[in-house]
Amino acid sequence: MDGTPYEFLFRAFAFILGAAVGSFLNVCIYRLPVDLSINKPRRSFCPACKTPIPWHQNLPLISWIALRGRCANCGSKIAFRYFAVELLTALLFLAIWQAFAWQVAIAYWIFVSLLIVGTFIDFEHFIIPDRVTIGGIVAGVVCSVTVPALMETDSRIAAGVRSMLAAALGYVILLIVLEAGKIAFGRKKIRFDTPTPFTWTKREDDADFVVGSEQSLWSDHFAREKDRLLLQCGEVKIDNHTYAGVTLDFHYDRVTVEGTEFLLDHVNEISGVAYELLIPREAMGRGDLKFLGAIGAFLGWRAVLFSLFAGSLLGSIIGLITLIAGRRMWSAKLPFGPYLAFGAISWMFFGDLFLRWYAGLLSP
């Protein structure tokens, strides 16, 4: 019997399933960073008017096109990201189904779903939630035990051990990079060409920090309790206190000026003119460590090394392009998670090809 109709049927199923899963991933991408339940409310709703979306207006891929990317109730624009996630997930599900045995394909479907959620959250919020990273590590170990072929073995015990060791390797490698980067590049000094106005304005549990045309959240600059931000000022006003020619020595929760310490919980606004800024910075977020651990749990130790190399290379290229284009600002951040995800997917499909190419270089 000709297997072509059956092959087409299974491929169509993989694509449609991927689009449906992508619709659910959009829910996760929207709700997880803001601590909303992904189960309540069960139905998706418009981000603008919060109106629940009926099923016939929530068909993966089709509805976004039919409604021209707008809410049927209020007419607000629905971001292209919703369509892109559904299409990307559908294409990856299809490609995985065609490239791997069905047991491995199902495990990889789970894996790429986690990668997509982590990638798009990192792009928008510069965080990767623990439910994605730690959950990914647990899922990777479980999938490896269930499908030992993921770790290139027939033994479930060996697969579980390899998966856990690869996850640990991914975490430890990036932890070393993080700590070494903090020692070598943990501070960045910015000297302004002309005296530049700045404001620090309290906003609930955080604050807005504006220097010239650069605006950022205060919490973005403090990853560790010992981090310090120094601001050399020509003049400065802390609520009703005025100073001239001083250096503000900031920790996240306090500022010291001329030996006087102000708790920032009791300060509403700081403003003045600055001519030099020294900011603390990290090589990457700690979510990236666990994200690479999840990659190792699903793909093994070689994928950890390849993902780190490929992600760093792509990130460097993108960073260089932004510098050349003149769009890189001192307060700008580049998420690393998406580049790790790129490396992981590249390894999934082309890892064997890369190994053969590399072996050919070593033994021409």
Q: Which of 54, 36, 34, 56 is nearest to 45 (CA)?
A: 54
DSSP at 70: B
The pLDDT of residue 113 is above 70: yes
Supply the mean pLDDT for the chain.
90
Q: What is the pLDDT of residue 332?
A: 62
Q: What is the pLDDT of residue 1?
A: 42
pLDDT category, 236, cuts 50, 70, 90? very high
Distance, C-alpha 268 to centroid of its chain: 32
Q: What is the pLDDT of residue 327?
A: 58
Q: What is the pLDDT of residue 255?
A: 95
Higher pLDDT, 357 or 15: 15
Q: What is the pLDDT of residue 364?
A: 67
Cα separation of 215 and 113, whole Å? 33
CA distances from 211 to 96, 195, 229, 235 (A): 47, 10, 13, 14
User: If you average pLDDT over residues 91-106, what whole number do you get?
Assistant: 96
CA distances from 14 to 21, 110, 147, 297 (A): 10, 13, 19, 24
The pLDDT of residue 112 is above 80: yes
Judge contact between 298 and 144, C-beta under 8 A: yes
pLDDT category, 329, cuts 50, 70, 90? low
Residues 6+ apart with CB under 8 A from 158: 148, 151
End-to-end C-alpha distance for the chain, whole angstroms = 45
User: If you average pLDDT over residues 145-163, what whole number do you get?
Assistant: 96
The pLDDT of residue 225 is above 70: yes
The pLDDT of residue 271 is above 90: yes
The pLDDT of residue 188 is above 50: yes
Higher pLDDT, 318 or 65: 65
User: If you average pLDDT over residues 175-194, what whole number do you get?
Assistant: 87
DSSP at 357: H
The pLDDT of residue 142 is above 50: yes
pLDDT category, 8, cuts 50, 70, 90? confident
- Please report, as a single letter, which amino acid is at residue 103: Q
The pLDDT of residue 173 is above 50: yes
Judge contact between 103 and 149, C-beta under 8 A: yes
Distance, C-alpha 316 to centroid of its chain: 16
Question: What is the arrangement of strands in the sheet containing 241-251, beginning at the earlier edge strand?
Answer: 214-217, 206-211, 187-203, 269-280, 229-238, 241-251, 254-257, 260-263
Cα separation of 334 and 118, whole Å? 14
**Residue 71 neighbours by CB distance under 10 Å:** 18
Greatest mean pLDDT among 9-13, 113-117, 282-286, 356-360 = 113-117
User: If you average pLDDT over residues 171-200, what whole number do you get?
Assistant: 90
3-class DSSP state for residue 236? strand
The pLDDT of residue 278 is above 60: yes
> What is the DSSP track for 295-338?
HHHHH-HHHHHHHHHHHHHHHHHHHHHHHHTT---TT----SHH
Give the model confidence (pLDDT) of 47-83 as tens digits.
Answer: 888 888 888 888 899 989 998 888 888 888 989 999 9
The pLDDT of residue 328 is above 60: no
Greatest mean pLDDT among 9-13, 140-144, 218-222 = 140-144
User: If you average pLDDT over residues 119-136, what whole number do you get?
Assistant: 94
Instruction: Give pTM, 2 decimals.
Output: 0.86
Give the model confidence (pLDDT) of 26-45 as tens digits.
Answer: 999 999 998 888 888 877 88
Cα separation of 253 and 247, whole Å? 17
Cα separation of 152 and 96, whole Å? 17
Where are the alpha helices (H) located in the chain, listed in sequence order?
Answer: 4-31, 62-66, 80-99, 102-125, 130-146, 156-185, 286-299, 301-324, 337-362
Q: What is the pLDDT of residue 28?
A: 95
